[in-house]
Chains A and B, each alone.
Chain A
Amino acid sequence: MDFRFTEEQMMTASVVRDLLSDLCQPADLRRLMESGEARDPNRWCKIGEIGLAAALVGEEHGGLGLRSIDFVLAAEACGYAGLPEPLVENTGVALPLLAALSHAEGVAPFFEMALTGEITVALAHSANAFVADVDSAGALIVEIEGALYLAAPNTLRLTRQPSIDPFRRLFMIDGGVDTAMKLTGRNEAAPLLAAAFERGALFTAAQLVGIAQRCVDLAVAYAKERQQFGKPIGSYQAVKHQLATAQVKIEFAKPVLYAAAAVVEQPGMYSRSRVSQAKLAAAEAADLAARTAIQVHGAMGYSWEVDVHFFLKRAIALTNWWGTPAYHRGRVAERMLSGELGPDNTFASEATYA
């Protein structure tokens, strides 16, 4: 038992964190928003150079062979930065899925480009009402009646579904999937789709934790600067306590998230429940932290000029992405009511009782 990240895991995260703190500041976000473009080409290129695209793809398929626990902190850093580009969904969710299907006919050219980061892959999974970032993707994996297909995005009829988050690029597919290539039937697809869902929920939780921390950090910085009644507002207990409360939420979301990241590859009720718990805790932390940050900024927090609203909006969006809170509560309830309980079962799984 050693509930710590390894040196390498922390290194990966800090590479991503440093890059984003250089290239993904609020001013960069605003520039991208004004351009209306999907991506900042320079940033996306630099992200590509880190070589994380195929991080979670097995070595036998030409990837780095990392596991979710190796990527969870990077995903958190993406949330913290409010990264618009689909690093998390592409690396964390879509490519491992495509790798599992890479033997299917016609996939190879797409998969190769995806491995090198030349294209991104979007995923139309029935757990989500919309497809994200398909307009800028080079390939789309689409679930149709439980089976999986591969489509070239430029053959699809897409309808943009504008989100309150200016960086979310959501679409509904209104046609064109009839020419998609079938990758696999329902039976083989089911476990792959289930695994993709787990990763989607996990990495969304990671981003939400990052968002929560960013909100607290923005508010703390402001509370040190802003003076009222002759003192920094951060010296008032009413302000301190709210920020402390938000930080407590974050502190108790993180270990759940990390434990979930460690078990997400094991299929089963125990791991599902942990992922769901992480998603719930992270969404709650992000919600509280964002609202607290607005409150601490006073009217500034309600203005467009202050950056908190970007994080508030991302939190609202991600709360329902890869499963609504209601759905995730259902999965936790299942484990709580039918799984083994008690202190000796903290790390239990199906394997424990096999």
Chain B
Amino acid sequence: MDLTYSTEQRRFRQEVRSWMEAHVPAEPLSSFDATREGFEAHRAWERTLSEGRWGMVTWPESYGGRGLDLIQWLIFEEEYYRSGAPLRVNQNGIFLLGPTLMEYGTPEQKARFLTAMASGDEVWAQAWSEPQAGSDLAAVKSTAVADGEEYVLKGHKIWSSRAVFADWAFGLFRTDPSSQRHKGLSLIFFPLNAPGVRVQAIPQIDGEKGFAEIFLDDVRVPAFHRLGGEGEGWSICMATAGFERGLMLRSPARFQVAARKLVELYKAHEHEVEASVRDVVMQSWMDAEAYALSIYSTASRLTAGGQIGAEASTNKIFWSEMDIALHKAALSILGARAELLRSAPAAGDIGKWLDGYFFSLAGPIYAGSNEIQRNIIAERMLGLPRS
């Protein structure tokens, strides 16, 4: 065990830091969920990143990356969040579909999709859930019927994040209409502006159009848009879900920056709040540290050729619960101002804690609910009997 950064890693950190300092927009961008302008501003930021070849540092150079390992990726993320850079509008592309494409895509598919993904030219949405297939994802009913060299897509997807403004979606479809449950499913890409696609925004708890329903009515896509073999959709999705729950989507830096801000908020109000708030703040900070340490250990193992396992589920529970506790702590420091909108004249330094708190409440739901993750841990990690 060696818990020190190499000279090369330190140099790399410095490089990221300098670049971020020179390029991160001075003013925060407006939300990518609320308006087309906000979305496009985020896309422009993705282009800037990609011009600096920072779009996805772990990807091979041929796809716009730098071919770096996971430890370097963590360092990149640390500097990214530290700099206050915008959220990644293409996170479902670069963090979820990207790594999956890398593993299961043909060279032609990688060439076609990865570069445009890394550059932000094509922003992706995930179209798995359906009204009757949430936790029970294997209940998807949407179909993809082969017709010559094409598939004809039909069905109804829901809760697709950022689909309102995104360009493409990767969906889970039944290619074998007589199949049941996990069999006969395939992962297929479709443009969100293709004829027959209708996207309907679903306002979220805060009123913003953060996710959408997608209605597919005889949407034709070439067979080239299928990732992996026909009928392999389920196992490919589970690989993607591993990225979603674990390492990629929620890198520790995000929480460490939030924890640092919480500590700053606490210090600014230390004399107005109860002594016990210190313990709550400290717990959040310690949890963020523990999460980082855990991810470093997983990343080290994966870099050495290991496989991601049940820690995808333990991670997901840990970060989602930590995120709620962290934001609750902030709201308790804000006291009477916690309920105010940021636009309120008396809002003062309330920042985005309330928005963050709401979003934290979704954490135990998306990426596989925490109840389902606990079942997975109990059954697959601990070997308890299935209910």
Q: Residues on A close to B: CB < 8 A? A: 128-130, 159-165, 168, 170, 172, 227-230, 233, 236-239, 291, 294-295, 298-299, 301-305, 309, 312-313, 316-317, 319-321, 324-326, 329-330
Closest Cβ neighbor of B138 among chain A residues: A229
Give every chain A residue within 8 A of B336 (Cβ-Cβ): 128-130, 320-321, 324
Known contacts A165-B339, A229-B135, A324-B335; decide if A303 and B205 are in contact (CB<8 Å). yes
Instruction: Choose the segment among B30-38, B77-85, B148-156, B362-370 that binds chain A (4+ C-beta atoms closer than 8 Å).
Output: B362-370
Check B335 against A316 for contact (C-beta < 8 Å).
Answer: no
A304 vs B210: C-alpha distance when bound (angstroms): 11
Q: Measured between C-beta atoms, what is the minimum distance from A212 to chain B in Å?
A: 16
Check A326 against B335 for contact (C-beta < 8 Å).
Answer: yes
Closest Cβ neighbor of A168 among chain B residues: B339
Question: Contact flags (1/0) for B334-370 with A, using CB distance below 8 Å?
Answer: 0111111101111000000010000001101110011
Q: Measured between C-beta atoms, what is the minimum distance from B49 to chain A in Å?
A: 28
A172 vs B345: C-alpha distance when bound (angstroms): 9
Check A295 against B369 for contact (C-beta < 8 Å).
Answer: yes
A130 vs B366: C-alpha distance when bound (angstroms): 36
Check A298 against B346 for contact (C-beta < 8 Å).
Answer: no
Give every chain B residue within 8 A of A163 (Cβ-Cβ): 339-341, 344
Q: Measured between C-beta atoms, what is the minimum distance from A263 to chain B in Å?
A: 25
Closest Cβ neighbor of B355 among chain A residues: A164
A299 vs B374: C-alpha distance when bound (angstroms): 18
Tell me if B134 is interfacial: C-beta within 8 Å of chain A.
yes
Question: Contact flags (1/0) for B145-165 with A, using CB distance below 8 Å?
Answer: 000000000000011000000
**Which of B159, B345, B375 contacts A238 (CB under 8 A)?**
B375
Q: Residues on B close to A: CB < 8 A? A: 129, 132, 134-136, 139, 158-159, 202-207, 211, 273-274, 276-277, 324, 331-332, 335-341, 343-346, 354, 361-362, 364-366, 369-371, 374-375, 387
Known contacts A163-B339, A164-B339, A325-B332; decide if A301 and B374 are in contact (CB<8 Å). no
Q: Measured between C-beta atoms, what is the minimum distance from B377 to chain A in Å?
A: 12
| Extra A-B contacts (12), CB below 8 Å, given A298-B365, A299-B134, A329-B274 | A163-B339, A163-B344, A172-B346, A230-B136, A238-B374, A239-B371, A294-B361, A298-B369, A312-B205, A316-B339, A324-B335, A330-B274
Q: Measured between C-beta atoms, what is the minimum distance from B365 to chain A in Å?
A: 6
Check B371 against A320 for contact (C-beta < 8 Å).
Answer: no
Check B339 against A159 for contact (C-beta < 8 Å).
Answer: no
Check A129 against B361 for contact (C-beta < 8 Å).
Answer: no
A94 vs B374: C-alpha distance when bound (angstroms): 49
**Which of A305, A313, A326 contacts B274 (CB under 8 A)?**
A326
Check B274 against A291 for contact (C-beta < 8 Å).
Answer: no
**Which of B335, B354, B370 contacts A164 (CB under 8 A)?**
B354
A195 vs B350: C-alpha distance when bound (angstroms): 31
Check A304 against B344 for contact (C-beta < 8 Å).
Answer: no
Give every chain A residue within 8 A of B332 (Cβ-Cβ): 324-326
**Which of A162, A230, A316 contacts B331 (CB under 8 A)?**
A316
A319 vs B357: C-alpha distance when bound (angstroms): 15
Give every chain B residue within 8 A of A172 (Cβ-Cβ): 345-346
Check A305 against B203 for contact (C-beta < 8 Å).
Answer: yes
Check A303 against B341 for contact (C-beta < 8 Å).
Answer: no
Known contacts A295-B364, A301-B365; decide if A228 and B136 are in contact (CB<8 Å). yes
Closest Cβ neighbor of A174 among chain B residues: B345
Give every chain B residue within 8 A of A170 (Cβ-Cβ): 340
Give every chain B residue within 8 A of A313 (Cβ-Cβ): 339
22 interchain pairs (CB within 8 A)? A162-B340, A164-B339, A172-B346, A228-B134, A228-B136, A230-B136, A291-B324, A294-B361, A294-B365, A295-B361, A295-B364, A299-B159, A299-B366, A302-B361, A302-B362, A304-B202, A304-B205, A304-B207, A309-B205, A316-B339, A320-B339, A325-B332
Check B365 against A129 for contact (C-beta < 8 Å).
Answer: no
Q: Measured between C-beta atoms, what is the minimum distance from B274 to chain A in Å?
A: 4
**Which of A129, A168, A233, A299 contacts B346 (CB under 8 A)?**
A129
A163 vs B354: C-alpha distance when bound (angstroms): 11
A294 vs B206: C-alpha distance when bound (angstroms): 14
Closest Cβ neighbor of A321 among chain B residues: B336
Check B354 against A299 for contact (C-beta < 8 Å).
Answer: no
Give every chain B residue within 8 A of A165 (Cβ-Cβ): 339
A170 vs B132: C-alpha distance when bound (angstroms): 41
